[in-house]
Structure 1
Amino acid sequence: MVGAVLVGVLVLVVAGCVCVVWADRGGPRWTRAVAALTVGAGKAVRSYQRNRPRQGSSGGDGD
Structure 2
Amino acid sequence: MGNVIALVLLGILALVVGGCVCVVWAERGGPRWTRVVAATTLGAGELLRRSGKNRRRGLDQSADDGD
TM bucket, shorter chain: 0.7 to 0.9
1:15 to 8, 15, 18: 18
User: What is the SS of the residue equivalent to 2:29?
Assistant: coil
What is the deviation of 1:36?
A: 0.1
Q: Can you give the 5+ residue segments of structure 1 that lack an aligned partner in the other structure?
A: 57-63
Kindly provide the amino acid, as one letter, of the partner of residue 48 in structure 1: S
Aligned residues: 56
Q: C-alpha separation between the residues in 2 aligned to 1:37 and 1:4?
A: 23
Runs of 4+ with >2 A deviation = 53-56
1:27 aligns with 2:30: yes
Q: Residue 61 of structure 1 corresponds to which residue in structure 2?
A: none
What is the deviation of 1:34?
A: 0.1
Query: In percent, how many aligned pairs have the same letter?
Result: 59
- Normalised by the length of structure 1, the TM-score is 0.84
Considering only aligned residues, what root-mean-square deviation do their CA atoms show, in Å?
Answer: 1.4
- Normalised by the length of structure 2, the TM-score is 0.79
Alignment of 1:1-63 (within 5 A): 1-52=4-55, 53-54=58-59
Q: C-alpha separation between the residues in 2 aligned to 1:32 and 1:23?
A: 5
